[in-house]
């Protein structure tokens, strides 16, 4: 009986460990990072569309999030993480890692540019978002696959 | 006995000839009557430009990687991979020799809406005339006028590189016989002008179904699966299902769809990707009312 309980506990711990590991897998990490960028872009879009009032602090925080996140983003594509966990990463990433990194860097440096000269009103945020969105698209064009 | 055999043979020969004749007649190139392209008057260039972006000409006919104004140079030079082989979209800039500057409106119109080339040959449906077939003669005239205003290029694209038997051009007549149609893809309320415009744009110039609808082994659309998603012809991944019940955009509102086509952002601030990036750049150039019409049509598709 005791042995059984012990075995059960071991299994449960094992499951727990698996769960933690799953969230740490590069596929999951990079999906979370992209979500963060998406949320920041969403905050900027709210202002650009006039759904939210212009707020310099929100603009700054959002641009900072995009800049910092996208700088670490390409570090989460090690060999062996090409498939699994519903990844939408294209195999082309590993065929041309340099270009993939350059495209991520472009988004980072554009975000930094707008941080250095913060968009001052709704129209400015809209223009900035146009540039950043184009960066997102140009990378997704080559390196993201839709699965459904 | 001998006479009987020769009679039988003659009969058979006749049958073969009639059969071949019927086959030829059923599958021969069918351009419009000349009158279809006459009396259209001066093209409306502004409308021609709208059709140029709606039609996505530049996505296949501009040079690979062309950005901004270079997208207006329709030099050919892209590579279009397919299960049938590799297609090389030609130069359609107004250059007299390398492009189509020397063509007439009727030649251009028959290529666009009937898939018939300048030498009366069948064109490959990788050029989406199966969709463009729905375009009005007026719109073709306006688009033709607009194309004349674009820069010339002397580039000559390579010929298509197709596997046997797809390299037999005459066989395309059979493909057309089976699959070519200029009828509406779905039955909708044509009385609603917004829906009618959306249907025209999506099924006609926008040629959305060419990628978003699955095909059978011969490259014909699978019946009843209009815009229901398909394998990515360029390799891994899928071209999404965009019907109202789809996982991809089923939960999006009309304004979400219109906004995506304008900005490239999805409602949860992911962005456009894959070959849709080029398409979205073109859609962004349309009047807002056209993007709204497309969105209305997609939401109104019968389920």
Task: Give the Cβ contact number of residue A107 at 10 Å.
Answer: 24
Contact residues on chain A for B277, CB-CB shorter than 8 A: 137-138, 140-141
pLDDT at A14: 52
Contact residues on chain A for B265, CB-CB shorter than 8 A: 41, 45, 133
Cβ–Cβ below 8 Å for A137 and B268: no
Residues of chain A with a CB closer than 8 angstroms to some CB in chain B? 34, 38-39, 41-42, 45, 88, 90-91, 129-130, 133-134, 136-138, 140-141, 144-148
Taking each helix axis from N to C end, the angle separating A122-143 and A26-48, rounded to the nearest 10 degrees, works out to 150
Residue with more model confidence, B41 or A10: B41
As a whole number of angstroms, the distance between CA A13 and CA B144 comes to 70
Share of residues in chain A with pLDDT > 70 (%):
85
The helix (H) or strand (E) run that includes residue B87 is strand B85-87
Optimal mutation site among A42, A82, A146, A147, interface B, most CBs of chain B within 10 A: A146
Nearest CA-CA partner of A30 in A92, A85, A95, A67: A85
pLDDT at A21: 60
End-to-end CA distance of chain B: 65
Residue with more model confidence, B155 or B77: B155
Residue of A nearest to B248 (CA): A148
Alpha carbon B223 to chain centroid distance?
18
Contact residues on chain B for A147, CB-CB shorter than 8 A: 237-238
Sign of the alpha-carbon dihedral angle for B14, B16, B17, B19: positive
| Option in A41, A140, A148 nearest B273 (CB) | A140
Confidence of residue B9 (pLDDT cuts 50, 70, 90): confident
As a whole number of angstroms, the distance between CA B44 and CA B37 comes to 15
Lowest mean pLDDT among B25-29, B88-92, B182-186, B261-265: B25-29
ipTM: 0.80
pLDDT at B228: 96
pLDDT at B77: 79
- pLDDT, tens only, A27-63: 999 999 999 999 999 999 999 999 999 999 999 999 9
Cβ–Cβ below 8 Å for A137 and B277: yes
The DSSP output letter for B85 is E
State the maximum Cα–Cα separation within chain A, in Å, rounded to a whole number.
70
Helices and strands (H and E) in chain B: how many:
12, 5
Cβ–Cβ below 8 Å for A146 and B264: no
Confidence of residue B65 (pLDDT cuts 50, 70, 90): confident
| Option in A45, A138, A147 nearest B238 (CB) | A147
Determine the average pLDDT of the residues in A80-94.
Answer: 91
pLDDT at B291: 98
Sign of the alpha-carbon dihedral angle for A71, A72, A78, A83: negative
Residue A134 makes CB contacts below 8 A (sequence gap 6+) with: B264
Optimal mutation site among B236, B258, B277, B288, interface A, most CBs of chain A within 10 A: B277
Cβ–Cβ below 8 Å for A134 and B263: no
- pLDDT, tens only, A58-74: 999 999 999 999 999 99
Lowest mean pLDDT among A34-43, A81-90, B137-146, B284-293: A81-90
CB under 8 Å, gap of 24 or more: what pairs does A114-117 form?
A114/A63, A115/A60, A115/A63, A115/A64, A115/A67
Residue of A nearest to B269 (CA): A38
What tokens appear for B262 in the block? 């304008």
Lowest mean pLDDT among A82-96, B41-55, B142-156: A82-96
Sign of the alpha-carbon dihedral angle for A12, A14, A16, A19: negative
| Option in B241, B247, B269 nearest A42 (CB) | B269
Determine the average pLDDT of the residues in B71-78.
Answer: 93
pLDDT at A23: 75
Residue of B nearest to A42 (CA): B269
Task: Give the Cβ contact number of residue A42 at 10 Å.
Answer: 15
* Residue B231 DSSP SS3: strand
Tokens 């965009």 correspond to B242
Q: Nearest C-alpha of chain A: how many angstroms from B172?
A: 31
Determine the average pLDDT of the residues in A69-82.
Answer: 93
Residue B177 makes CB contacts below 8 A (sequence gap 6+) with: B26, B27
**DSSP bridge pairs for B63:** none
pLDDT at A7: 57
As a whole number of angstroms, the distance between CA B36 and CA B279 comes to 30
Q: What's chain A's average pLDDT?
A: 88
- pLDDT, tens only, B98-116: 999 999 999 999 999 999 9
The backbone torsions φ and ψ at residue B121, rounded to the nearest 5 degrees and listed phi first, read -95, 155
- pLDDT, tens only, B270-292: 999 999 999 999 999 999 999 99
Determine the average pLDDT of the residues in B182-193.
Answer: 92
Residue of B nearest to A131 (CA): B263
pLDDT at A10: 52
Cis amide bond preceding B271, omega within 30:
no
As a whole number of angstroms, the distance between CA B150 and CA B261 comes to 25
Task: Give the Cβ contact number of residue B4 at 10 Å.
Answer: 8
What tokens appear for A69 in the block? 């996140």
pLDDT at B1: 58
pLDDT at B161: 95
Q: Does B230 touch chain A (CB under 8 A)?
A: no
As a whole number of angstroms, the distance between CA A119 and CA A62 comes to 12
């Amino acid at each position: 009986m005791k042995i059984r309980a012990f075995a059960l506990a071991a299994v449960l711990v094992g499951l727990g460990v698996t769960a933690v590991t799953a969230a740490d897998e590069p596929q999951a990490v990079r999906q979370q990072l992209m979500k963060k960028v998406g949320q920041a872009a969403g905050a900027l879009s709210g202002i650009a569309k006039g759904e939210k009032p212009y707020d310099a602090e929100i603009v700054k925080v959002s641009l900072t999030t995009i800049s910092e996140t996208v700088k670490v983003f390409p570090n989460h594509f090690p060999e062996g993480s090409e498939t699994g966990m519903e990844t939408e990463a294209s195999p082309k990433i590993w065929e041309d890692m340099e270009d993939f990194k350059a495209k991520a860097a472009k988004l980072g440096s554009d975000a930094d540019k707008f941080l250095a000269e913060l968009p001052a009103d709704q129209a400015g945020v809209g223009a900035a978002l146009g540039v950043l969105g184009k960066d997102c698209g140009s990378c997704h064009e080559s390196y993201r696959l839709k699965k459904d | 006995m001998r006479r009987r055999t020769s009679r039988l043979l003659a009969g058979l020969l006749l049958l073969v000839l009639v059969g071949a004749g019927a086959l030829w007649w059923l599958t021969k190139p069918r351009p419009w009557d000349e009158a279809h392209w006459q009396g259209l008057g001066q093209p409306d260039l502004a409308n021609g430009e709208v059709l140029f972006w709606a039609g996505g000409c530049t996505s296949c006919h501009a040079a690979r990687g062309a950005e901004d104004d270079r997208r207006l140079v329709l030099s050919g030079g892209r590579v279009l991979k397919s299960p049938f082989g590799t297609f090389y979209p030609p130069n359609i800039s107004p250059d007299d020799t390398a492009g189509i500057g020397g063509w007439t409106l009727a030649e251009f119109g028959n290529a666009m809406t009937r898939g018939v080339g300048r030498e009366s040959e069948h064109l490959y449906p990788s050029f989406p005339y199966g969709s463009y077939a729905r375009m009005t003669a007026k719109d073709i005239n306006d688009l033709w006028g607009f194309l004349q205003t674009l820069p010339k290029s002397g580039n000559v694209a390579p010929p298509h590189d197709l596997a046997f038997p797809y390299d037999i051009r005459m066989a395309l007549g059979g493909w057309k016989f089976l699959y070519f149609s200029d009828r509406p893809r779905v039955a909708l309320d044509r009385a609603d002008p917004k829906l009618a415009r959306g249907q025209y744009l999506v099924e006609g110039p926008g040629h959305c179904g060419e990628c978003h609808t699955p095909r059978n082994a011969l490259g014909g659309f699978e019946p009843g699966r209009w815009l229901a998603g398909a394998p990515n012809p360029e390799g891994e991944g899928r071209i999404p299902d965009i019907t109202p019940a789809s996982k991809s955009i089923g939960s999006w509102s009309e304004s979400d769809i219109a906004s995506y086509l304008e900005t490239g952002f999805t409602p949860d601030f992911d962005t456009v990707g894959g070959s849709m990036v080029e398409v979205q750049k073109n859609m962004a150039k349309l009047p807002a009312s056209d993007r709204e019409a497309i969105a209305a049509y997609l939401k109104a598709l019968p389920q």
